[in-house]
Each structure stands twice: as structure tokens, then as C-alpha cells.
Structure 1
Amino acid sequence: MSDTLRSAERALGALLLFDGERREIGVTELARCLDCSTSTAMRTIETLTAMDFLRRDPHRRTYRLSGRALGLARTWHGMASLANVTRPIVAKLAEGTGLTATFAVADHAHMRAVVAVDGVDGPLRNYPMTGELFPAHVGAISKAYYAFLPKIMRDQLTGSRPMAQYTERTRTGVSDIEEQFSEIRQAGYCTTKGEYDADVSALAMPIRATKDPLGSVSVATKGNLEITQQLLDQVAAATKDIGLMLGRRQ
């Protein structure tokens, strides 16, 4: 194991020690728990403190989780809770269409998959897609969401940073993407083929429970995807159900 990986493992191990019962920890106790020297434990604490994951109590000479660490924990807890309540809807869509179904929400300049359920042909990738980040400028699941944002917000995401070319079909020109966004708004959905993964075709729709979109739902498969009215209705039903659920949670 490399020194960098070992250091990261110790840092994560230190954070995981705060399990609800332990609210603070000192250098000596951390060294014992991580089975390392006190100097190594001190370096780990200094790193986490510098990154604002721990804060020092100068009187007790111990360390506690910071607001940033607690906020991160609440975020992931919220994502897990959101996944639990929406999974049945996504699973129903996957079962009804036979396609891989995904529900995603915005995460800065990406969409993060909250729930992904494989279709009848198995997974699209050789690893779980839940938690996967999809860039704002590429793929149906991202474009179905970002197309419906106000232009000033779209410009911040697609016009202020370089856009990576993932396949020969990836669009990276701002005007080209804006033209596609306009087409998506007119149609109410987005279809793509080979923009992010060269062999994957997808259909996605935004989740609309408020003026601005709350997320998006997609179905995808390897190869070609036939867009039928039945498929459009199935995806639309899933976005409506999730939208009603998200609207109640706000």
C-alpha cells in the first residue's frame, strides 16, 4: 500500500471513530485506535484539522468533528434516505421497461445518481452506478435537468469551464449545447446515444414539482433505444411520482 493511500485510510479511520458514543478524541487514544505512533496520529489530526473536518478543544486538548464533517454526514444521510423512498419507483420503471433506470439530482456541475436499477440485460458498467457523477454537459440524465434551468445558471455551469470530450459524439461547444437544450425544452425530454459511454443510448426527463427541475429520471441500454409513446409515458409517470414525493419533502 502506498504512503498516500495509507494516510487516507488512517484519516477515514479517524473520522469513523466518531460513532455517536465517542464525541471527542485525543492524540494518544487515536494512536491506540489506529495502531500507529503518536507522531503519525498527530499528523493525521493536523491534516483533518487543516481540512476543517476536526476542531480542537484547547482546554481539554482533544478534537471533535467540525461543522463541515457533520454537514457532510447529514448530506449522505439525506441521500440515503432519498434513495430509500424513491427506489421502489425506479425499480418499477426498470421492471416495466426492461431497461436500466436511474434517478439523479444535481451536485454542483454534475448529476449524482441517487438510485440506479439494472435492466434485464444486466448492468451497463462493471461497477454499481449509484453515486455516479454525470457531467452537466453530457448524457441524457444531465441534459434533461440542466436544459430547464434558467439561462444564467446554465451559463455558470457550461460556459465558465472547459468541457471534456468523452466520445466522438460528445458535444463541447456552448452554442451547440444550448441549441440542444432548446430542443429538449420543446420536446420535454432528452435522448442521447454514445455521448458519455460510446455504446449506451438513453432517454431522460426532468422532475418538475416546482418552477425549476428537482432532478431527472433516465432509462438506458447498450446499443439502440427505440423511443415509443409507451416508453415516454412510463418515464413520465416515474418523474411525476418522484416529483410528488420530493414536493412533499420540501
Structure 2
Amino acid sequence: MNDDAQSPLQTVDRALQVLISYSERRRDWGVMELSDELGIDKSSAQRLLAALAFRGFLRPDPITRRYSLGPTMWRMAALWERTGGLAALADGVLERLARDTDRTTTFTIPDGFHVRCIAAVDGGGGPLRGHPLVGDLYPAHAGATSRAYFAFLDRNERRALLSGRPFARFTDLTEVDEAALERSFEEAVQTGWAFSDGEYDAATRAIAAPVRLGRRPIGSLTVAEGKNEDLPGDIRDQVPRLLEATEELSNLLAHRTPAARRR
């Protein structure tokens, strides 16, 4: 079909294709590049980019004539977060994981040298702590929750964040030696998940795994239990269910359909 004869719905879909084509590796488009990428003629690519720029979804560079993401994208993302955002997306996954494991589940995202809890569901034994977990910060060097994120960063990026930083000791089991910490990160990468038993909170043990967008970790899912809870089995028996949940949430974040996941 000639591009000029496209239906309005096809044009809208093409515009959406342009927006979702942006990534960390693809931060701007030129007209000819987009034409080749979408298999459309140059004039159609130019009209698409110009229309998106007119509404602020893209921002043209007057010198390079390349288009990067614009301020409307920020406004839409901020609105999404104010109306629940990532936390709302994770809630169902956490609820099912808590029900299946009978333990507390959390979803955390990076916050500088820490990860921050943005969603949590109590296990069958009740609250893990005497205060709500949402908003809690977990330092990079202590516990499975943070290790499941920081371990899966690019090694150079992780070292730039952590190297030379003083590490606080929270319990007798908190590791504060930088070389030993690096070994624990590498171990988590090898297994695909992290385990802690009193490193950050002496009364808690946990397993955690990274949630990814593409290949990059964007947070972690955790299954945690209080050591005084009378729960069947070892918490590490729940690793397969944890990994299923992280894959489910990663697919939701990437908006992958079942057919796309099979491919």
C-alpha cells in the first residue's frame, strides 16, 4: 500500500512505532534512518517526525536535523507515575507471589546508592516489620534485595557507583570489604538470584532476583520472611516461583504479548 493512502489507524500505529523505537541505544532518529527502519518513503518519515515534534513528543535539533524524545514524553511519564505507575503494574504480580509463597513480597527500584521499595504485599504471617515497607531504602552492599539489582548492572557502572565508598555495618553478617562484595555480586550473576540471611536486618532472610527491561535491570523482586515465622521449607525452595514472577513483571514492563514472548 502506498504510504499516502494509509488509513488514519495505520498512521497512528506508525507514529507509535516511532515512539517505542527509542531506547538507550537509539536516542535519536534522522529522517532517512527512520525511512529505512520502517520501510516507508522519506516524505512519510518526515511527516511522522514533524507531527510528533509539533505535539512535543519529539524534539528536533535544528543543526543536526535529528529528533530526540521531547517534553511531552516526560509529562506523560510523570502522570503515569502519579496515577500508580510501576507500583500499580507490580501489585498483581506481588499479590500472587505472596499468596503462592506465603511470604512477604516487595518490588524495589534504584535510588542512588540504594534501592527503594515502591510496592509490597504482606505474607500470611503478617507484616514483616512494624511499619509499612513502601518507601524503605536498602543499601547496595547489604541484603539480597539490593544485590539483586546492583549485581546485574554493567561491572564498570557498578564499580563507578560503589568503589571507594564507606560501607556501614548493620549486623555482624554485613559485608563491608569491597573485594568480598564484588565476589558476592558475581555469585548472584552466576545463579541469577541473590540470598541473604541477616545481612541488613538480623531478624530477616530473603531471596531476590532482578526485574529487567531488555537486558538492563530496572529493579528487583524480593521474597522475605521473618526468622521467627513458622513457615514450611527453606525460603530458597521458592526461587523457581520468584523467577517466574520476575519474568512476568519484566514482560509487563516491556508490554510483550504472549506471542512475542514465545518468539
TM-score band, normalised by shorter chain = 0.5 to 0.7
Contact 1:79–1:114 under 8 Å retained in 2: no
Q: For residues 84 and 207 of structure 2, what CA distance do their matches in structure 1 show?
A: 25
Query: Quick check: 1:215 aligned with 2:195?
Result: no
Q: Which residue of 1 aligns with 2:208?
A: 204
Q: Which residue of 1 aligns with 2:84?
A: 80
Q: Which residue of 2 aligns with 1:111?
A: 115
Offset at residue 248 of structure 1 (A):
2.7
What is the DSSP-based 3-state SS (H/G/I as helix, E as strand, rest coil) of the residue aligned with 1:169?
A: coil
Q: For residues 82 and 159 of structure 2, what CA distance do their matches in structure 1 show?
A: 28
Contact 1:214–1:243 under 8 Å retained in 2: no
Q: Which residue of 2 aligns with 1:243?
A: 250
Q: Match for 1:137 among 135, 138, 141?
A: 141
Q: Which residue of 2 aligns with 1:95?
A: 99
Q: Which residue of 1 aligns with 2:169?
A: 165
Contact 1:104–1:141 under 8 Å retained in 2: yes
Contact 1:200–1:220 under 8 Å retained in 2: yes
Q: For residues 118 and 228 of structure 1, what CA distance do their matches in structure 2 show?
A: 18
Question: What is the TM-score with the length of structure 1 in the denominator?
Answer: 0.66
Query: How many residue pairs align between the two structures?
Result: 179
Structure 1 gap ranges (5+): 1-69
Contact 1:136–1:157 under 8 Å retained in 2: no
Contact 2:105–2:221 under 8 Å retained in 1: yes
Contact 1:204–1:216 under 8 Å retained in 2: yes
Contact 1:99–1:118 under 8 Å retained in 2: yes
- Structure 1 stretches (4+) deviating beyond 6 angstroms? none
Q: For residues 228 and 118 of structure 1, what CA distance do their matches in structure 2 show?
A: 18
- What value does the CA root-mean-square deviation take over the aligned residues? 2.4
Change (3 A) 1:90 1:195: same
Q: For residues 196 and 104 of structure 1, what CA distance do their matches in structure 2 show?
A: 15
Report percent identity of matched pairs: 38
Q: For residues 159 and 76 of structure 1, what CA distance do their matches in structure 2 show?
A: 34
Deviations 1:106-160 (A, max 9, x none): 1111111111111111111100001111111111010011111111111122213
Q: For residues 224 and 251 of structure 2, what CA distance do their matches in structure 1 show?
A: 23
Which letter does structure 2 place at the counterpart of 1:120?
G
Which letter does structure 2 place at the counterpart of 1:226?
D
Q: For residues 99 and 241 of structure 1, what CA distance do their matches in structure 2 show?
A: 18
Deviations 1:28-57 (A, max 9, x none): xxxxxxxxxxxxxxxxxxxxxxxxxxxxxx
